[in-house]
Amino acid sequence: MAITILAIESSCDDTSVAIVRDGYVLSNLIANQDIHMSYGGVVPELASRAHQANIVPVTQQAFSRAGVKAEEVNAVAFTRGPGLLGSLLVGTSFAKGFALALDVPLIEVNHLQAHVLSHFILEKDKENMIPSFPFLCLLVSGGHTRIIVMKNHLEMEMIGNTIDDAAGEAFDKCGKVMGFSYPAGPLIDKLAVQGNKNAFAFAKPFVRGLDFSFSGLKTSFLYFLRDRIKEDPLFIENHKADLCASLQNGIVNILVSKIAKAAIQTGIREIGIAGGVSANSGLRQGMSEEALKRKWNLFIPEFRYTTDNAAMIGITGYYKYLKGDFSDHSVTPLARY
Ligand code: KG4
Ligand code: ZN
């Protein structure tokens, strides 16, 4: 019998609903919230209100796009956390209501695990490679920078974490200093292509083990600009591409050197990147070069699975369903998982 999962993602500012059948994505709809752009970051209260407005129409579209009826759903998977509490609450309540109405199991999903498991999503009419275990993954998003070892689909161990900002936050905060709107990562990536990555150098962190730090680089970037602007008020305007390329290079070097260290320490050669920042062209290129040099089997996600999406919640829900790992209806969202 086919296993059909309805998956709900509402941890931050994207409302996403997917239908996943036997590990294949039948539909994956995402409603973005442009409302946060002018605020320089996600405004939690506005995000939860937008989720409330979006979740029903997005779910309806996910069903019609997949050509699936509600009665065919075997379980409802939802993001329990980590994320913004108000946002998570909308998805959690909606998932509970749906599961109750259909009398099917409810499956809570850890958003971070789901980002990693996005590498196991199967595509209809497409032969895609999936990693084997153990799988070492660099998870880089606006809220997290972690090195994770997956021992199997459901067992994961975190072996590295940021001690301050996340990599995406470093992109966004430095972008804000240059006057870019939120999120700045994609624009920095775009401008970096035309710049010289060795034009400027910013502070490199000294963090032991497999942990990360980005606050030193951010401060060094800020002070560098402040000093240069004193001499030339149009410094940012005149050096935008070089600034973006150099900043991106600094962040990518921190990330690639730590995942390389983790690969040596663990002896794992099945390696992937996931999360919003894994869309970055510099990181993709840096990882590809490293993979060639170190003979890694590298997994780079398709762009649509880099940022928050419900397909990754669905694939995680599918593996939890196979294991009979269901949640009680008393389950509550967790800002920290
Ligand atoms: O995974 P995600 O969609 O949401 C979180 O869970 O945080 O990641 C969003 C982050 C933002 O910080 C955004 O600036 C960054 O991913 N991002 C990028 C790129 N695309 C998105 N950073 C650098 N280069 C990109 N191309
Ligand atoms: Zn995410």
Query: What token pair was written down for 89?
Result: 């609450």
Summarised one tens digit per residue, pLDDT across range 154-166 is 999 999 999 999 9
Residue 125: predicted pLDDT? 77
Question: Measured in angstroms, how far is the CA atom of residue 252 from the centroid of ligand 1?
Answer: 13
Residue 123: predicted pLDDT? 85
The β-bridge partners of 27 are 19
Of all protein residues, whose CA lies closest to atom 20 belonging to ligand 1? Answer: 186
Of all protein residues, whose CA lies closest to atom 24 belonging to ligand 1? Answer: 280
Say if residue 82 is preceded by a cis peptide, omega within 30 of 0.
yes
Q: Which of ligand 1's atoms lies nearest the C-alpha of 172?
A: 14
Q: Which of ligand 1's atoms lies nearest the C-alpha of 167?
A: 12
Q: Which of ligand 1's atoms lies nearest the C-alpha of 308?
A: 3
Question: Measured in angstroms, how far is the CA atom of residue 70 from the centroid of ligand 1?
Answer: 32
What are the CA-CA distances from residue 146 to residues 143, 260, 293 (Å)?
Answer: 10, 13, 23
Mutation probe of ligand 1 site: the residue of 141, 284, 313, 337 with most atoms within 8 A of C-beta: 141
The β-bridge partners of 299 are 272
Question: Measured in angstroms, how far is the CA atom of residue 307 from the centroid of ligand 2?
Answer: 6
- 87 contacts 13 by C-beta, under 8 angstroms: yes
The residue whose two tokens read 């990147």 is 273
Closest ligand (CA of 306):
1
Closest ligand (CA of 248):
1
Helices 215-231 and 240-266 cross at an angle (nearest 10°) of 160
Using CB distances shorter than 6 Å, the residues near ligand 1 are: 12, 141-143, 168, 171-172, 183-186, 189, 275-277, 279-280, 307-308
For 104-172, give the secondary structure using H, E and C.
CCEEEEEHHHHHHHHHHCECCCCCCCCCCCCEEEEEECCCCEEEEEECCCCCEEEEEEECCCCHHHHHH
Residue 128: predicted pLDDT? 82
Residue 13: predicted pLDDT? 86
Question: Measured in angstroms, how far is the CA atom of residue 185 from the centroid of ligand 1?
Answer: 6
How far is Cα 105 from Cα 107, in angstroms, rounded to an integer?
7
Residue 229: predicted pLDDT? 97
Of all protein residues, whose CA lies closest to atom 8 belonging to ligand 1? Answer: 276
pTM score, two decimals? 0.94
Mutation probe of ligand 1 site: the residue of 307, 309, 336 with most atoms within 8 A of C-beta: 307
- 190 contacts 178 by C-beta, under 8 angstroms: no
Question: Measured in angstroms, how far is the CA atom of residue 332 from the centroid of ligand 2?
Answer: 19
Query: What token pair was written down for 32?
Result: 């973005």
Per-run averaged pLDDT (10 residues), the chain, 337 residues? 97 94 97 78 88 96 98 98 96 98 98 97 85 98 96 97 97 96 95 98 94 97 97 97 98 98 98 98 98 98 95 98 98 94
